[in-house]
Amino acid sequence: MRKPVLFTILVFATCLAMAASTMAQTKDPIKIGAIYDFAGGCHMYSEAGIKGIKIALDEINAKGGILGRKVEHIVRDTEGKVDVAVREVKDLILREKVNFLIGPCSSGTGLAMQVVHSEYKILRISPIANTEAQTVDKFSRYFVQVVPNTYMEAVAATRYFQKKVPKAKKFATIGPDYDFGRREEGAFTEEIKKLVPDAEIVYEAWPKLGEKDFTAFITAIMAKKPDAVHGSLFGGDVVSFTKQAAPYGFFQKIPFIALYDFPVLKALGDDAPEGTFAFGRGCFFMDPNPKMMEFAEKFKKVAGDYPDGWAVQNYDTVYLLKAAVEKAGTVETEAVIKAIEGIPFDGLRGNFSIRALDHMGTVPCYQGTIAKDPKHAFKTWKDISRIPGEQVIRPEASVREVWKKTGVTR
């Protein structure tokens, strides 16, 4: 009699231990790896993005977390280097055992880490890096994008630009010489030739990312006498370009559009060229809806400044992830991916969804004209246009055509 009783006791004790272990695991914090590029032009965007993540997590944890579990974020720096990005994302996955990833800023480091986290079946959401390659050419079901991609952004900006310069037929372009810039300018060229069949690209300028001296590009563009110039410069690059181009009368002589968002406008101050056209991704003044304005006040109290699009998109990302996990009822990757596909989301930029086909968010694109703002000490935009993502996202048939060429299977 003793052996069966002893055996029963041991089995019961083992079951209790396993149950206790399972309960402990379900109460372990959910870990998010926030991997960003704190170098070059991406530094200020990455800093803002982390602030957006932190505010969202503080709110969520104050209300009990997600599925009753606290949520932690572990920040890593890629230094803007592909090899560092690969090393850090591996460490987040293998040693820190993160459940999800958010980031980075650079499309280059984003594409590099996509290979790694896809291999380990960890979901990453991108609120800043926006090359279309992430959702089309290099599609991975372990990736979701909530920033307008290079195709969407360029198409929306081109339509706005063409309406502002309807007589323009000769165009020049200037973009950073890497995947983001090449794709934005390629999409611009494609779209402008649809809108203006006899449009001509008379000059293409490709400065390296982080270029310090734009003089040669400025004088070369002006020598070609284009009717208008489309740019995809951003951050410190567009600040430097603007300051160097102004003495040549560039902005008085040639209509120009580039990524003049809040950080750039603030950095330029009085030097921000009024009347120049701009596009952006959701800074507070671009979409002043009640939810955005509430966030702006909260952000000011925490960070001492207004939120830019990079903080907004990262804040939205955390809440999108929360919605997907709660819908799935688990942090298990495959279940969360299934939950996020097609999920409707009401964020700071309004309503959008994640397209099931390619995991691209139908997020809005913003355009405007630089102008003084009586409400602020810095310049913002007037004539603001908000284009819903559904109007400019690449058609599904076109995505499938690209997949046939690149060998992507879905």
- Do residues 258 and 193 both lie within one domain? yes
Tokens of 111: 């594409």
Range of the domain at 256: 151-287+366-391
Whether residue 155 is found in the same domain as residue 252? yes
Instruction: Express each pLDDT in 346-377 by its tens digit.
Output: 999 999 999 999 999 999 999 999 999 999 99
Query: What pLDDT was estimated at residue 410?
Result: 83
pTM to 2 decimals?
Answer: 0.91
Residue 385 domain-assigned (yes or no): yes
Answer yes or no: do 205 and 241 share one domain: yes
Q: Which residue shows structure tokens 């592909």?
A: 82
Is 8 inside a domain boundary?
no
What would the mean pLDDT of 76-84 be, rounded to a whole number? 96
Rounded (10°) angle between helices 150-164 and 179-195: 40
- Let me know if residue 5 belongs to a domain: no
Query: Are residues 137 and 68 part of one domain?
Result: yes
Q: Model confidence over 139-172: pLDDT tens digits?
A: 999 999 999 999 999 999 999 999 999 999 999 9
Specify whether the CB–CB gap between 172 and 201 falls below 8 A: yes
pLDDT of res. 26: 60
Same domain, 88 and 49: yes
CATH number at residue 311: 3.40.50.2300
pLDDT at 41: 77
Same domain flag for 114 and 216: no
pLDDT band, residue 310 (cuts 50/70/90): very high
Instruction: Please tell me whether residues 51 and 140 are part of one structural domain.
Output: yes
Q: What is the mean pLDDT of residues 328-343?
A: 98
Reported confidence tier of residue 323, pLDDT bands at 50, 70, 90:
very high
Mark whether 133 and 242 lie in a shared domain.
no
- What's the rounded Cα separation, in Å, for the pair 354 and 290? 23
**Does 2 fall in a domain?**
no
- The pLDDT score that the predictor gives to residue 146 is 98
Dist. CA 121–CA 260, nearest whole Å: 36
How far apart (Å, rounded) are the C-alpha atoms in residues 409 and 308? 36
Residue 376: inside a domain, yes or no?
Answer: yes
Question: What phi and psi, each to the nearest 5 degrees, are found at residue 126?
Answer: -110, 115
Through-space distance between the first and last CA atoms of the chain, rounded to whole angstroms: 60
Cα–Cα distance, 341 to 345 (Å, whole number): 11
Q: Minimum mean pLDDT among 10-24, 118-132, 337-351: which range?
A: 10-24
CA distance 344 to 354: 7
Structure tokens at 160: 């706005």
Same domain, yes or no, for 111 and 238? no
Is a pLDDT exceeding 70 seen at residue 2? no
What's the one-letter identity of residue 390?
E
Three-state SS string over 345-386 comes to EEECCEEEEECCCCCEECCCEEEEEEECCCCCCCCEEEEEEE
Stretch among 9-23, 82-96, 296-310, 377-391 having the lowest mean pLDDT? 9-23
Residue 21 within any structural domain of the chain: no
In a domain, 13, yes or no: no
* CA–CA separation, 122 and 156 (whole Å): 32
How far CA 264 is from CA of 12, 52, 236, 261, 271, in Å, comes to 64, 18, 7, 5, 10
Q: Kindly give the residue spans of alpha helices, DSSP state H, lying in 101-203.
A: 107-119, 150-164, 179-195
Same domain, 317 and 243: no
Question: Do 173 and 253 have their domain in common?
Answer: yes
- Total domains in the chain come to 2
Same domain, 278 and 292: no
Residue 23 has pLDDT above 60, yes or no: no
